[in-house]
Amino acid sequence: MKKAMTLTYETGGNLYLNVTNHCPCACVFCIRKNDDGAYGSDPLWLEHEPSMQEMQDALARRDLSSYPEIVFCGYGEPTMRLNFICELADYIRKVCPTAVLRINTNGLTELYSPDADGTAAKRVAHAFDKVSISLNGGDSAVYNRVTNPRGMPDNAYDTMLSFAKTCKAEGTETIFTVVDVITPDEVAAAQKKADELGIPLHVRAYIA
């Protein structure tokens, strides 16, 4: 495991922000199992959790207005630092008002965030223009097998769905994702669940 302080990296024309390595899940498709970086980036294992000043310094070296999206998604679950990412999102909007902010999340923040009182989802929805949520399956059995939410209560799947409903209700562009490590029938079940909630589903290819 190579450690560095890679706080920003480019993928697909977008700028990605690496704010934490902590994650409560161990998804079977997690890219961290296969490499120290993502899509050719420098190592994303952090020497320490970055401070706000470190993130601001890293962003200052980028032309933020040149990216279609700025994505909070590194080698961890960004909402584990909920207060931090909301503050950082606010900072980015101040220095680059045209920025489009997206977060890739497991949608479980209500189970571990400092606002685990029903308001965390609304905070995320208000801080970001787009929210991409790992649906990972059409029912809790498949979800738990694929996501492996460690130390979580049995309602992790329902919590994630509730998070998605809140984001959508708040008017934030919301999408679900699954990775094609599940069977075609399980993808179809995930699509049915997404359709029930009126949220688009994106099927991602597994990258070994």
CA–CA separation, 144 and 147 (whole Å) = 5
pLDDT confidence bin for 2, thresholds 50/70/90: low
Going 79 to 122 to 93 to 99, the CA torsion angle's sign is: positive
pTM given for the model:
0.92
Per the rule left: phi > 0, alpha: psi between -120 and 50, beta: everything else, 198 is left
- Taking 3-state DSSP, the helix, strand and coil percentages for the chain, each rounded to the nearest 5, stand at 40, 20, 45
pLDDT reading at 87 higher than 60: yes
Q: Report the alpha-carbon distance of residue 204 to residue 190 in Å, rounded.
A: 13
Q: Say whether pLDDT at 151 is over 90.
A: no
Lookup: tokens for 151: 């130390």
pLDDT the model gives residue 5: 84
> For position 206, what pLDDT does the model report?
75
- Flag the least confident range among 8-22, 55-69, 149-163: 149-163
Q: What is the pLDDT of residues 123-135, one digit of tens each?
A: 999 999 999 999 9
Task: Round to whole Å and give the CA distance between 35 and 45.
Answer: 10
pLDDT tens-digit series, residues 43-76: 788 999 999 999 999 999 999 999 999 999 978 9
Across the chain, mean pLDDT equals 91
